Amino acid sequence: MPRLPSLAILVLLSSVLLGGSCSEPKAVPLEELQKDIAPPFDYSLYCDEDGTLLGDRSAVLLVYRASHLERVYGDALAGNPRAQALFGQLETAVSRTGMEMAKQSLGIACGSLPACVVQWHKLDEFLPSRGEGGLRLRQVMADSFSRAAMLQHVSNTTVSAVLDVLLVGTVLKRGAVGAAGTEAAVAEARALAAETSVAPVEAGRLAVAGLEVRLAAEELPALEARIVEEEALATAARHPPRLEALTRYRPSASQPPPGVQADHPRWTSYVAYWHRCYEELAGTRPLPPRALEAKPPLAWDSYSALLDRFQRSLEFQRSVTRKLQQPGSSKGSTVWLPDMKQPLITDNTGLQLESRAHPVYVDQLAVDQATLGPGLRPSVHTFSNKQRNFSTLSVDEALRQYRADLQEVQAKYSGVVEVRRPGHPLFQQKVEISQAHIVYDGKLVPPPIRTGLSQYARSRGAALHFHDP
């Protein structure tokens, strides 16, 4: 038997998808596959009379040609020995690929994790079939990847993210022998990830990949949750909800809008986001946590504008964090937290409230380390950053908005909470929040409005600040 074609598929699914380097040459570039016009099906295109694959390219072409792949898989299930031998080699090849993926994943840096993970969605370009044969190969690859990743001690965040993409739309159907083992392996990997990290928000990860920022792994759950919430609340233009109409707007990773590069992370993330929304509407994919209903995807311009706004808010948050972390008489940690002797400021920190099913993520968590220790009551403050444009509001309208924001902050970031950030000195401890703060973007608040809001906040004992980045 000739060498199995793990070379060809490995190059496609590790070097291209992970953006890493591979010592082996490309077998069939994506651009060449996209020009492929499948001939009428014939086993001789791919294998000899015994079902043995012919060369390296035949496996890649068979996997890419969805109708041919499903024909082979159907014949294999029907007991055709030639088809069984051929499909069995594909399973062996993708199993090897899954193991190599785990090795490649060890090299993903936290700062580039979202962009790297989202590129796995290009799997749809190489393995486009959503039939039982295509899903079976995804299952085998996920099985191999998850087992190897656990042995390689790959980051739980990476494992969970990769499985989310590998199994997009998969219902884990039992086709060939071993599918039950695949389901167990995937469940085991996801359970392992859940032990030490917050459950992933898939759509959020894809959107975060479209942001031009560097992110630490511990920030991902917070930003994912925030952007999923923003997307759900977005009122901008969306595609039609009926699947028949929606299909006409299906984007292609290789055909971006004018002025956008095909490999730009934002376009790649949009393609992945669109497919997830489609599958949620079709009922072939469960809704992400916190989602109440499936919605059609935002149009590209709406999606890009959403990420622009989110990126601006993230930059504002970073600016507030820097101010709090800087010592000095005119800086935030002194002016906003005058009684703190040793402030520790962390951002995007997870807090679990007993009244909520999922953690909330506060923009900044400030802890006075001088108050930590036996017999001491920790001084803990939360900060919520908001960019509200008050320039067109009257004082009364601004006060109504502030009261709504204050009510939200008191519900989400006050009371008794459990700190969920690993490595934090209060990790897994329940503490009472000493004070919840609101920080508005000062550039968006005219002086008369600022005066009125400040007076109202002081009369209520609330902590309100204005930051001019």
- Strands 380-386 and 360-368, sheet pairing: antiparallel
Asked whether residue 107 carries a pLDDT value surpassing 70, the answer given is no
Cα–chain center distance at 359 = 16
* Percent of the chain whose predicted confidence (pLDDT) is above 90: 40
- pLDDT value at position 63? 86
* Percent of the chain whose predicted confidence (pLDDT) is above 70: 70
pLDDT per position as a tens digit, 349-371: 999 998 888 889 999 999 999 99
Interval 77-84 mean pLDDT: 94
Task: Quickly state the pLDDT bin for 174 (edges 50, 70, 90).
Answer: very low
Is the pLDDT higher at 25 or at 97?
97
Interval 163-180 mean pLDDT: 41
**Which of the given ranges, 57-61, 85-89, 117-121, has the highest pLDDT on average?**
85-89
- pLDDT value at position 352? 93
pTM flag (> 0.85): no
- pLDDT value at position 210? 54
Q: Tokens 């001939």 label which residue?
A: 39
pLDDT per position as a tens digit, 300-314: 999 999 988 888 998
Q: Which residues contact 198 (CB under 8 A, 6 or more apart)?
A: 221, 350, 359, 420
Instruction: For the sheet with 416-419, list strands across it.
Output: 430-432, 416-419, 343-352, 360-368, 380-386, 435-441, 463-467
Interval 73-84 mean pLDDT: 94
Task: Quickly state the pLDDT bin for 211 (edges 50, 70, 90).
Answer: low
End-to-end CA distance of the chain: give it in Å, rounded: 66
Interval 78-100 mean pLDDT: 88
Is the pLDDT higher at 264 or at 173?
264
Asked whether residue 147 carries a pLDDT value surpassing 90, the answer given is no
